[in-house]
């Protein structure tokens, strides 16, 4: 950047909205600050030593003014709250049909993997004008993916999947930071987001060095790790069928019902005793520590693909 800007470039649909709220709050604070300063100075002059101001201390009330200013400032505070809350909710809910990318933080780099298997390190290519959701996880400690130009920041938490979404509005290369102190090289855990026109992105994605798609890699893992021995069609062990599972409700042994989303599937692989499916014995071993976040993401992608109708993010 050659010029000093008041704020980073606005490169996502959310950015101008966040900035508007920020400047509105700033203007409100300035207005209030000036108003209070005028009162302080004004009264200091009025009641200076030797002035003829009335100091009798007589009580005077104006109920109308009291109700007026209390409700006016109360409504203003509520208005700011709802304004902020609506932006927060929008930030938290990726639109259906967003382009999904897996992102993993680890000491000290970001890795990203696209659905067709193309991976990148400390770089993330995304198409212009398309909603993108990054499913974030962490290999070790808490990291936080921060793209100032998108006004978006989301923690990558070990053992959990969090979602960061944005819709880029201008092509270019933008900074990507880790915004959570994660060890000695935290400050070097940075990269770039490259926003490309849609055709360019499609060409870039297709130029993947002949890697298999996430689903295909997940399917190989499913066999290699022995999952298919129990959950496959020819299994002799009594284990839940995974076809058509994703996105649908599951009845559990403790009579609760859960939707089989990504978090549920991850938990079932890592902590199988947590949500035992009704009618099944708790015999599945835990895979905690036996696979990387990367592998876990692929397995989840494969299990999702077994349920084409429930696969909306
Ligand atoms: Cu990763 Cu700080």
Q: How confident is the model at residue 300 (pLDDT cuts 50, 70, 90)?
A: confident
Q: How confident is the model at residue 213 (pLDDT cuts 50, 70, 90)?
A: confident
pLDDT number for residue 131? 94
Q: What is the pLDDT of residues 246-285, one digit of tens each?
A: 888 888 888 888 888 888 888 888 888 888 888 888 878 7
Whole-prediction pTM:
0.69
Residue 146 has φ and ψ, to the nearest 5°, of -130, 120
Burial group, residue 208, by CB count within 10 angstroms (0-12, 13-18, 19+)? middle
Evaluate whether 303 touches 242 at the Cβ level (below 8 Å): yes
Ligand 1 centroid–CA 290 distance in Å is 24
- CA nearest ligand 1 atom 1, residue: 143
- Hey, CA dihedral for 34, 36, 40, 45, is it positive or negative? positive
Pocket of ligand 1 (CB under 6 A): 105, 108, 143, 178, 180-182, 186, 189
pLDDT number for residue 310? 57
CA–CA dist 197, 286 (Å, integer): 43
pLDDT number for residue 128? 93
pLDDT of 170 higher than 80 = yes
Evaluate whether 175 touches 144 at the Cβ level (below 8 Å): no
Q: Of 98, 132, 119, 127, whose CA–CA distance to 293 is shortest?
A: 119
pLDDT of 313 higher than 70 = no
Q: State mean pLDDT over 180-201.
A: 92
Ligand 1 centroid–CA 281 distance in Å is 40
pLDDT number for residue 50? 85
Q: How confident is the model at residue 167 (pLDDT cuts 50, 70, 90)?
A: very high
Helical H runs in 47-126? 63-92
pLDDT of 311 higher than 80 = no
The atom of ligand 1 lying closest to the CA of 108 is 1
């Amino acid at each position: 950047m050659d010029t000093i800007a008041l704020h980073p470039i606005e490169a996502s649909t959310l950015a101008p909205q966040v900035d508007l709220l920020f400047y509105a709050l700033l203007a409100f604070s300035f207005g209030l600050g000036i108003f209070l300063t005028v009162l302080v100075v004004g009264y200091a002059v009025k009641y200076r030593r030797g002035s003829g101001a009335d100091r009798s201390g007589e009580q005077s009330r104006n109920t109308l003014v009291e109700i007026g200013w209390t409700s006016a400032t109360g409504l203003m505070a509520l208005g700011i709250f709802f304004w902020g809350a609506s932006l927060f909710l929008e930030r938290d809910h990726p639109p259906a049909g967003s382009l999904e990318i897996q992102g993993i933080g680890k000491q000290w780099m970001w890795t990203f993997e696209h659905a067709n298997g193309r991976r990148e390190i400390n770089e993330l290519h995304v198409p212009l004008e398309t909603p993108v959701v990054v499913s974030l996880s962490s290999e070790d400690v808490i990291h936080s993916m921060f793209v100032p130009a998108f006004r978006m920041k989301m923690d990558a938490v070990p053992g959990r999947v969090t979602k960061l979404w944005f819709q880029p509005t201008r092509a270019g290369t933008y900074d990507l930071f880790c915004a959570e102190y994660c060890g000695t090289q935290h400050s070097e855990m940075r990269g770039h987001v490259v926003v490309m026109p849609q055709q360019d992105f499609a060409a870039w994605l297709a130029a993947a060095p002949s890697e298999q798609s996430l689903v295909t890699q997940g399917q190989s893992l499913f066999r290699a790790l022995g999952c298919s021995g129990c959950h496959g069609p020819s299994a002799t062990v009594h284990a839940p069928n995974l076809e058509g599972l994703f996105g649908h409700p599951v009845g559990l042994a403790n009579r609760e019902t859960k939707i089989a989303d990504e978090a549920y599937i991850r938990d079932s692989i890592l902590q199988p005793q947590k949500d035992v499916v009704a009618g099944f014995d708790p015999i599945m071993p835990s895979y905690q520590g036996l696979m990387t976040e990367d592998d876990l993401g692929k397995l989840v992608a494969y299990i999702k693909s077994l349920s084409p109708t429930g696969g909306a993010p």
